[in-house]
Structure 1
């Protein structure tokens, strides 16, 4: 369990990510979770040397846009595309946008990681 995760609003995301970049932290990955009406995204960073990790967490509505961090950490392009394809996270300004076809083929399920909801959920195909 990572104890040093800071909860922030999406409007503070780029400012907080820039602090990690300024401190020479590495971007490790991000994780998206379906909370029902919202998506939770946690971004993980690591300082060298060592294994200590730190994180930033945002919670957004499924229809909200979040800013891309690829202008700060280009390596985030893969995980941002993945979260967009699998969860429908709306990421604005990705350096490279695969348009929903980085992992999924044209016959793949739509947004396969979203929880199915009884009232016409977006998950599955």
Structure 2
């Protein structure tokens, strides 16, 4: 796993794309008052995984990776809606309507919102 700052995410993702790796998952977690975003990439020939991890403050904004992996919009909309992660330029952006839920950012405790 490679821990990176948010500002280099797009460069690192572009490298993974150029290596022919497939985005296999992206997820968010709220740990000790910070977001942990994980992006995992698979090499379908060797079955090896590479993961990029960003640990960031709640108000930090991260760029969408949909320019490189269009299907990442599902992962990113989920991170945004369930955790409140600030992701810029998601395409398409479901505006917190990916899921039919009433609670805002339900995966964050009330005291962390």
Q: State the TM-score bracket (shorter-chain normalisation).
A: over 0.9
Could you list the structure 1 runs, at least 4 aligned residues long, displaced by more than 4 angstroms after superposition.
Answer: none
Aligned partner of 2:103 among 98, 101, 109: 109
Aligned partner of 2:34 among 29, 32, 38: 38
Q: Which residue is equivalent to 2:74?
A: 78
Higher strand share: 2
Cα distance in structure 1, aligned partners of 2:87 and 2:56:
11
Q: Alignment length, in residue pairs?
A: 113
Please tell me whether residue 16 in structure 1 is matched to residue 23 in structure 2.
Answer: no
Alignment RMSD (CA, Å): 1.1
Provide TM-score, normalisation by structure 2. Answer: 0.94
Larger Rg: 1
Query: Is 1:25–1:45's contact at 8 Å kept on the other side of the alignment?
Result: yes
Aligned partner of 1:98 among 94, 99, 104: 94
Cα distance in structure 1, aligned partners of 2:8 and 2:50:
16
Deviation at 1:38? 1.2
Q: Which residue is equivalent to 1:54?
A: 50
Deviation at 1:29? 0.9
